[in-house]
Amino acid sequence: MFLTYTNILFNIFVLVATFRVDPPVHRHNGFYKAAVYEHPVELPAKIAETYDEAVGQMLLNLNEYKKQADIAGSQGVDIIVFPEVGIYGFQFDNSSEIENYLEYIPNPAEISWTPCREPDRFNRTKVQTFLSCLAMNNSLFLVANYGDMQPCPLVDPNCPNSGHYQYNTNIIFNRKGELIARYHKQNLFFETQFQQPINPEKIFFDTDFGRFGTFTCFDILFHDPAIPLVEKFNITDVVFPTAWMDALPFFSAIGFHSSFAVAYNVNFLAANLHLPSQRFQGSGIYTPDGAEAYYYDRNAQDGKLLIHDVPIISRTEKKLQNVVFAFGPTELQYLKNHEFKATVFKDWYNCVRLGSRKDKITLCQEGFCCFLSYERDQIVGNYAFGVFNGIHPRNGPYYLQVCILLKCKSEDNESCGRLTFTADGNFKYFNIRGNFSTPYVTPQVIRSDNGRLELLPLHSMTYDKTGLTGSARSTPLLETSLIGRVYVSD
């Protein structure tokens, strides 16, 4: 009875969608309207034994997607982004467990297909049909993350025993419900249920309000596909489904994702899961000039739909800032031997405590030096300045160069770098810079309002050839950092 009801529901939904009138005309006056949805994914009580049973389970999340897409459509949203694994969750231990939840996703570069109008063209495409109808019903671009099941070529020595590959996949539908882009995630994060594509993909799609590149979660930490999309394919915007677990101090979702927008001069639409008990939280609509809207709440149980106007970026603008930080004898006169070492994000940093109301500090590690100049109204809080230069082996490896000013959890030096959401120090002024060996440097500033993370408003920070400059007077500073990625040394 349940499976019959599921089929009837899909058939009615598709029938209604295909008889919609022509979509409204969207007009742009230098802006487009974006939406991202932070989703409290419903996880199934047990692993489905058939595709139809899996579809019935996934409807719990898809119906929530419909609710949010309908709200966005009613407000004239141009594009909406949903999170990674938001349709079926992340509870799968291997490729066989997730198989019933997957569908074959054709390559839109090779075929033209509107699932909502041709739901029977391919077998087993009910989820794609549902999403296509959402896009067509609401006349918007829709970005979702789903699982792709691709049959192996006839002669393929790498083919899994199942006879097909399984990919963590972003799919994009245009206003008419047509499948226009498909991206297979390259950099997997403990995802044994999926395989990496043999040929890494750089996927983008053009709209009447910008060129959008897409990649997924852990991809953002690596050169491919993100950097070629910016440097070679000249994208203006990023759509970013993610299941991002906060990794403070400098890999919080809102902090790191917003820093990408600033560093690479792109709009960045990030949609995360909302499961605070498991550290999944933090979504936003970010621009090169700061955050237009973001959501970070470790106490709320409900998801959140963010909608905001986003400035359209011209593709003729220069993409990378190629910051050359001023660093020389002036900074070296403030060189200090590190007072202690602390573990920050599982790496050993050279650190020094901030013991004065104002000071200038230079710290070095393995030839990489960071400089801090700061002033505060009073000496409040346990703060340290740290430097790291080397391979981060955990969940990598990848090469980092980091300058960071952070709140320590306690007076113990060993607490610097430990997880804390609270801060108590206000800074009248701070400036950080370093002699980075890479142009790929992202700046971020995170404040803490009674344990609630906040981004620093645009007017309170500057990132240019003099480094990262800002002030945190109204709300205590949790951390501020410059994070360099030395891709050639990975």
Q: Out of 217, 351, 369, 416, pick the active-site residue.
A: 217
Q: Out of 126, 185, 319, 407, pick the active-site residue.
A: 185
- Give, in order, the Cα–Cα distances in Å from 341 to each of 117, 371, 413: 61, 17, 8
Is there a catalytic annotation at residue 84? yes
The tokens 């993409």 sit on which residue?
Answer: 319
- C-alpha 109/C-alpha 100 separation (Å) is 26
Closest to 387 measured CA to CA, from 365, 372, 408: 365
CB 323 within 8 A of CB 228: no
Is there a catalytic annotation at residue 133? no
Q: Out of 84, 178, 292, 331, pick the active-site residue.
A: 84
The C-alpha angle with vertex 270 and arms to 268 and 275, in degrees rounded to 5, equals: 160
- C-alpha 286/C-alpha 292 separation (Å) is 6
Contacts of residue 294, defined as CB under 8 A and 6 or more positions apart, other chains included, come to: 254, 258, 282, 283, 284, 285, 286, 306, 455
- C-alpha 390/C-alpha 368 separation (Å) is 10
**Alpha-carbon torsion, ordered 365, 371, 374, 379, to 10 deg:** 20
The whole-angstrom distance between residue 292's C-alpha and the CA centroid of its chain comes to 15
* Residue 97 φ then ψ, to 5°: -65, -35
User: Is the backbone peptide bond immediately before 225 cis, with ω within 30 degrees of 0?
Assistant: yes
The tokens 């949010």 sit on which residue?
Answer: 68
- Give, in order, the Cα–Cα distances in Å from 22 to each of 25, 203, 274: 9, 28, 35
Cα torsion angle, 275, 5, 129, 161, sign? positive
The C-alpha angle with vertex 59 and arms to 58 and 61, in degrees rounded to 5, equals: 70
Closest to 423 measured CA to CA, from 483, 360, 477, 365: 477
Instruction: Tell me how crowded residue 30 is: count the other CB atoms within 10 A of its CB.
Output: 8
Residues designated as active site: 84, 185, 217
